[in-house]
Amino acid sequence: MPYSTWVCPASPVSAMIFCLMDTLESELTCPICLELFEDPLLLPCAHSLCFSCAQRVLVSHCTSSLKPSQPAAVFQCPTCRYVINLSHKGLEELKRNVTLQNIIDRFQKASLSGPSSPDETRRCKQDRDRYPFVGNDALVMSSPGESVLCQFCEQDPPQDAVKTCITCEVSYCEECLRATHPNKKPFTGHRLTEPLPHSYLLGLACAEHLDQKVNMYCCTDEQLICSLCKLVGRHREHQVTALAERYDKLKHMLDLNLSSLMKRSSELENLLGRLIQTCQYVEVRSLIHTCQLIEECDVLIDIVQQRRQIIGTKIKEGKVGSMLHKLAQQIASCKQCIERSSTLINQADHTLKETDHAHFLQTARSISERLSMATASSQILIPEINLSDTFDTFTLDFSREKKMLEALDYLTAPNPPAIREDLCTASHDAITVHWTAEDEFSIVSYELQYTIYTGQANIVSKSVACKEEGGTSKEAKPPHGLCNSAESWMLVPNIKQNHYTVHGLQSGTRYIFRVKALNHAGGRSSEPAKLKTNSQPFKLDPKSGHRKLKVSHDNLTVERDEMSKKSHVQDHLSSPADYGIAGNVCIDSGRHYWEALVGGSTWFAIGIAYKSSPKHEWLGKDSDSWVLCRCNSTWVVRHNGKELPVSPPPHVRRIGVLLDYDSGSLGFYSATGTQRLHEFSIAFSQPVCPIFSVWSKGVSIVTGLPVPDHLDASEPQSNSPFALSGCTTTHKEVNK
Does residue 285 form part of some domain?
A: no
Which residue, among 507, 512, 511, 510, has the nearest Cα to 534 in the 3D structure?
507
DSSP readout, 320-341? HHHHHHHHHHHHHHHHHHHHHH
**Bridge partners, 608 (sequence order):** 626, 690
**Residue 711 DSSP label:** H
Report the C-alpha gap between 704 and 91 in whole angstroms.
84
3-state secondary structure 147-180: CCECCCCCCCCCCECCEEECCCCEEECHHHHHHH
Does residue 51 form part of some domain?
A: yes
Name the domain boundary from 59, 84, 113.
113
Does residue 207 form part of some domain?
A: no
Q: Lowest-pLDDT range, 125-139, 202-216, 239-253, 680-694?
A: 125-139
- What per-residue confidence (pLDDT) applies to 424? 93
Do residues 648 and 668 share a domain? yes
> Is 524:414 a contact under the CB 8 Å cutoff?
yes
Do residues 507 and 376 share a domain? no
| Upper half-sphere CA count for residue 168 (Cβ side, 13 Å) | 20
Report the C-alpha gap between 124 and 119 in whole angstroms.
9
Do residues 568 and 712 share a domain? yes
Q: Under the phi-then-psi rule, with left for phi > 0, alpha for psi from -120 to 50, and beta for the rest, what region is 628? A: beta
Name the domain boundary from 513, 532, 551.
532
Do residues 519 and 567 share a domain? no
Q: What is the mean pLDDT of residues 499-514?
A: 90
Report the C-alpha gap between 732 and 626 in whole angstroms.
17
Residue 68 has pLDDT above 90, yes or no: no
306 pLDDT band (50/70/90 cuts)?
very high
Do residues 25 and 89 share a domain? yes
Burial degree of 169 (CB within 10 A; 0-12, 13-18, 19+): middle
SS3 at position 259: helix
Domain of residue 717, residue span? 542-735
Number of domain units in the chain = 4
Q: Which amino acid is at 556?
A: L
We report the CATH number of the domain holding residue 33 as 3.30.40.10
pLDDT in tens, 386-408: 555 556 666 788 888 888 888 88
% helix, strand, coil for the chain, step of 5: 35, 25, 40
We report the CATH number of the domain holding residue 643 as 2.60.120.920
pLDDT in tens, 84-137: 888 877 888 888 888 888 888 887 776 555 444 444 444 444 444 444 444 333
Residue 364 has pLDDT above 70, yes or no: yes
Q: CA angle, 252 as apex, 251 and 258 as ends, to 5°?
A: 85
- 330-354: burial string, b at 16+ Cβ within 10 Å, e else: eeebeeebeeeeeebeeebeebeee
Do residues 515 and 550 share a domain? no
Do residues 427 and 386 share a domain? no
Length of the chain: 736
Which residue, among 547, 680, 691, 552, has the nearest Cα to 618 in the 3D structure?
691
Does residue 502 form part of some domain?
A: yes
- What per-residue confidence (pLDDT) applies to 16? 47
Average pLDDT, the chain: 77
Do residues 426 and 449 share a domain? yes
Do residues 731 and 588 share a domain? yes
> Is 224:217 a contact under the CB 8 Å cutoff?
yes
Does residue 423 form part of some domain?
A: yes
Does residue 373 form part of some domain?
A: yes
Do residues 511 and 437 share a domain? yes
Name the domain boundary from 44, 79, 113.
113
| Upper half-sphere CA count for residue 551 (Cβ side, 13 Å) | 21
Do residues 683 and 596 share a domain? yes
Report the C-alpha gap between 225 and 425 in whole angstroms.
88
Residue 464 has pLDDT above 60, yes or no: no
Does residue 456 form part of some domain?
A: yes
Do residues 573 and 448 share a domain? no
Does residue 21 form part of some domain?
A: yes
502 pLDDT band (50/70/90 cuts)?
very high
Cβ neighbours for 373, distance < 8 A, ≥ 6 positions apart: none
Query: What's the pTM?
Result: 0.45
- What per-residue confidence (pLDDT) applies to 478? 45
Neighbour count for residue 440 (Cβ, 10 Å):
11
